[in-house]
Homo-oligomer: A and B are copies of this chain.
Amino acid sequence: MRIVTLAGGTGAAKLLRGLDALVPQRTLTIVGNTGDDALIWGLHVSPDLDTVCYTLGGWIDEDRGWGLRGETFRTFGEMVRFGEPTWFNLGDRDLATHLHRTRLLREGQTLTEVTAKIAQDLDVSHAVLPMSDQSVRTCVRGPDGWLGFQEYFVREKTQVEVVEVDYVGANAALPAPGVVEAIASAHAVIVCPSNPITSIGPILSVPGIARALEATDAVVLAVSPIVGGQAVSGPAGRLMAACGFEVSALGVASAYAPWLDILLVDNQDAALTPRIEAAGLRTIVTETVMRGREGEIALARRALEALA
């Protein structure tokens, strides 16, 4: 069985860890969001790819949900002296990843090549692909103008009213080598419970990926990241509203409607299923909030059962 997954950060990483516990090695092709990549201190940081790799490799700091266990921030502490931005926390161990990625990119390797190497070095036993080798940057427009995603998410802690979202560079981007091919030849596609606007949206903004999802024979399943009218975590609700979607599983369904077959919705949202099914989708009602490793595995099993 070959499964393609579209993945953002934390929520995706948890479901992927659940899947990893149930399927053989190399079953998954994980297509990661790079719309929130950023240059920090001159280093190419790929937060979503790293969260996925750190989680699947077993290195993630479980309490914080990002970065590495046992992390320290010594370099960070010196940056104040030099006037470098310190709103983005880069740990000392984490820095090794960004230094390595940046060096390889500067030497001319593609993000696809670098990501594959880092995933392997971090003991990830599935394929990890960036959505594109070109720069696509999720930007949000607030009252005072445009912000890069990390400026909005980390620096401003999402406390900015968003009126518009754009994926800068998407028009000129290509799907990373292997992405369209993996979708075309997969038995199933799983869209992880990630922010539809700033995690899955950037992936879909790369020309050719949405079309591949429409064209594939694979069953395409998504897990709604909206439970009971709000996001399980993060600003997905506000961003969906800003982009004109209802903040509900129904809104998720409409965002993914052109190519989605099955939507997993939370028990709390069972009442929405008739309207989602009226739009031609199958729904599966289950517990979607992943509590602990058991919760991750249970949701992953439910998804696999639905695909079988």
Q: Which A residues lie at the B interface, using CB under 8 A?
A: 41-43, 72, 74-75, 77-79, 81-84, 91-93, 95-97, 99-100, 102-103, 106, 117-118, 121-122
A96 and B122 alpha carbons, distance in the complex (Å): 24
Separation of A6 and B176 alpha carbons in the complex (Å)? 51
Q: Across the interface, do A103 and B72 meet the contact criterion of CB distance under 8 Å?
A: no
Which residue of the partner chain, among B41, B92, B95, B121, contacts A83 with CB atoms under 8 Å?
B121
A75 contacts which of B83, B84, B96 (Cβ < 8 Å)? B96
User: In the assembled complex, how far is the CB of residue A253 from the closest CB belonging to chain B, in whole angstroms?
Assistant: 41
Cα–Cα distance between A103 and B79 once the two chains are bound (Å): 12
> What residues on B are CB-neighbors of A102 within 8 Å?
42
Q: A72-B72, A103-B41, A122-B81 are in contact. Are A95 and B96 (CB under 8 A)?
A: no
Query: Distance in Å from the Cβ of A12 to the closest Cβ of chain B?
Result: 23
Q: Are A75 and B100 in contact (CB under 8 A)?
A: no
Most chain B CB within a 10 A radius of its CB, from A84, A100, A121: A100
Q: Smallest Cβ distance from A115 to chain B, in angstroms?
A: 13
Chain A interface main SS type: helix
State how many angstroms separate the Cβ of A198 from the closest Cβ of chain B. 26
- Number of copies of this protein chain within its complex: 2
Contact A95 B95 (CB under 8 A): yes
Q: What residues of B have a CB within 8 angstroms of the CB of A81 in the complex?
A: 96, 121-122
A74: chain B residues at CB < 8 Å are: 72, 74, 91-93
Nearest-neighbor residue (CB-CB) of A84 within chain B: B100
Give every chain B residue within 8 A of A97 (Cβ-Cβ).
78, 82
- B103 pairs with A75, CB closer than 8 A: no
Among A42, A117, A122, residue most surrounded by chain B Cβ atoms (within 10 Å): A42
Q: How far is the CA of A117 from the CA of B82 in the complex (A)?
A: 8
User: In the complex, A96→B75 CA distance in Å?
Assistant: 5
Asked whether, in the complex, the Cβ of B106 is within 8 Å of the Cβ of A82, the reply is no
CB-defined A-B contacts under 8 Å, sample of 27: A41-B99, A42-B106, A72-B74, A72-B92, A74-B91, A74-B93, A75-B75, A75-B92, A75-B93, A75-B95, A75-B99, A77-B93, A78-B93, A78-B95, A78-B96, A78-B97, A79-B99, A79-B100, A81-B96, A81-B121, A81-B122, A82-B97, A83-B121, A84-B96, A84-B99, A84-B100, A84-B103
Please name the residue on chain B nearest to A92 by beta carbon.
Answer: B74
* Bound-state Cα–Cα, A61 to B95, Å: 23
Residues in B with CB closer than 8 Å to A92 are: 72, 74-75, 92
Interface centre among A75, A79, A91 (most CB of B within 10 A): A75
